[in-house]
Chain A
Amino acid sequence: MQQLFNFFIRNKTFVLFLLLLSCALSLTIRSHEYHRSKFIHSSNQITGSIYGAFHGITQYFNLKKENKLLLEENSQLKILVFNRGNLPKTDSLLESTYNLLSSQVYKNSFAVPNNYLTLNKGQNDLIKEEDGVITSKGIVGIIDKTSKNYSRVLSILNTNSRVNVKLKKTNHFGILSWDGKSPEITQLKDVQDLVKIAVGDTVVTSGYSSTFPANIPVGSIKSYRLNDTEDLYIIDIKLFNDMTNLEHVYIVKNTDINELKALNISDE
């Protein structure tokens, strides 16, 4: 026992180093698994408020671009209002199961394989995990961690991200994921090889999950190829969203989520 203690005291630097390194490695491994990074994340009070303080300065840089985006969105909404009479009433966005809440992006990244965003809305605004995040152009990601005033978004530019989407033309669905390379291109997998697809086809959310309503635009097909077993397509999707430059986003809250969850549980 005495010798053991002596050994530790003699090599205390090395022991401390090993301890801290294994600590860091375990945090790293946790962070590579979806929903596991519990302790170290940017949606806590300290990091959130610091990001907030500096965001007050940097938000002025994008004002022109943001103005233009808002104008575009406004005109689209105006068109919708003017043509309201012609719209079919079954549009899922108009049923009041989904609520929208605007929010600002405090932090965004796209240079590493696992990217997250930090938003300035949290539990105080009734934001929950699994809520979807979109912009006027397309989808951004899914809320994955919340604190009182801030929340963290698992970006679609994250190798752990999986979103259920479909081809607008034929309604065939697949899973949107990211290979970690270009921030403009994501991959759509699990589409059968008998489906007819063409470059330029639009991809939208399927609405099968409770996170996103149906028919939110995602991107357009850039190129496609068959996978190794030659029965499923791997499709490169060019995103409508510029993920490298996000400022204002909307959080989509599904008010029926408890009912849906209860249904799913009774199914199992």
Chain B
Amino acid sequence: MNNLVFINISRFVGLVLLQVIVCNNINFLGYINPNIYVLFVLLYPVANNRLLFIFLSFLLGLSVDMFLDSGGTHAAASVTIAYIRPLFLKFSFGAIYEYHAVKFSKTDLTQRLIYFLILIFIHHFILFSLVVFDQNELLLIFKHTFYSSMFTLLLCLLLSSLFSNKEK
């Protein structure tokens, strides 16, 4: 249990630092930056205290906001995906989720891909709607959402498979 707490704390700090020091200076094609910190929300253990989880996600977004001077946009996006996460866990993993036995490192790639894709897309859509904050610029919001989501998804899959310790 203590080990799990330690892993999550270090993941929190590590991902925030990785986000603000490295990922936000990539600026691929001028404006595409991956938001790698959502991995914390995606990989948080399934059997959890939901109140704590939602609060931690808010804190995660807020710390990124503080570094990036983006108001509360990242906080709003991550607290939303943290709240709706169980719905998509059920959708992507089906029966295993019912028994609270989902271990992300042991699920197969397609299921994980779908789960990541949906949540990352929702997160980015909320994020860029709030960042652009102009309903006349829907096209711009979708463009940003699409490209950044793809970039984030790719990095999330890479990172999660890089650090998963498969014991078979």
Contact = CB atoms under 8 A, between A and B. Distances in A.
Given A24-B79, A40-B65, A183-B30, A16 B54 contact: yes
A41 B67 CA distance: 7
Interface of B: 17, 20-21, 24-25, 27, 30-33, 50-51, 54-55, 58, 61-62, 65-73, 75-76, 79-80, 83, 130-133
A21 B76 contact: yes
Contacts of B31: 111-112
Which among B20, B58, B70 has the greatest number of chain A C-beta atoms within 10 A? B70
A244 B28 CA distance: 12
28 contacts: A13-B51, A13-B54, A14-B83, A17-B80, A20-B54, A20-B55, A20-B58, A24-B61, A24-B73, A24-B75, A25-B76, A27-B75, A28-B72, A30-B71, A32-B71, A40-B62, A44-B66, A47-B67, A50-B17, A58-B25, A111-B27, A111-B30, A111-B31, A111-B33, A113-B131, A114-B71, A182-B30, A244-B30
Which among A16, A27, A41, A112 has the greatest number of chain B C-beta atoms within 10 A? A112
B1 to A, nearest CB: 22
A180 B140 CA distance: 10
A82 interface: no
Interface in A3-58: 12-14, 16-17, 20-21, 23-32, 37, 40-42, 44, 46-47, 50-51, 54, 58
A71 B73 CA distance: 41
Nearest to A155: B69
Contacts of A40: 62, 65-66, 69, 71-72
B80 A116 contact: no
A114 B70 contact: yes
B71 A37 contact: yes
Contact of B133 (A21, A32, A111): A32
Contacts of B69: 31, 37, 40-42, 109, 114, 116, 118, 152
B72 to A, nearest CB: 3
A110 interface: yes
A172 interface: no
B67 A42 contact: yes
B83 A28 contact: no
A109 B73 CA distance: 16
A16 B132 CA distance: 26
A244 B24 CA distance: 12
Given A21-B79, A21-B80, A109 B24 contact: yes
B34 to A, nearest CB: 12
A107 interface: yes
A51 B33 CA distance: 18
Contacts of A118: 69
A42 B66 contact: yes
A20 B60 CA distance: 12
A54 to B, nearest CB: 5
A13 B79 CA distance: 11
A116 B47 CA distance: 39
Contacts of A46: 66
A10 to B, nearest CB: 13
Contacts of B30: 111, 182-183, 244
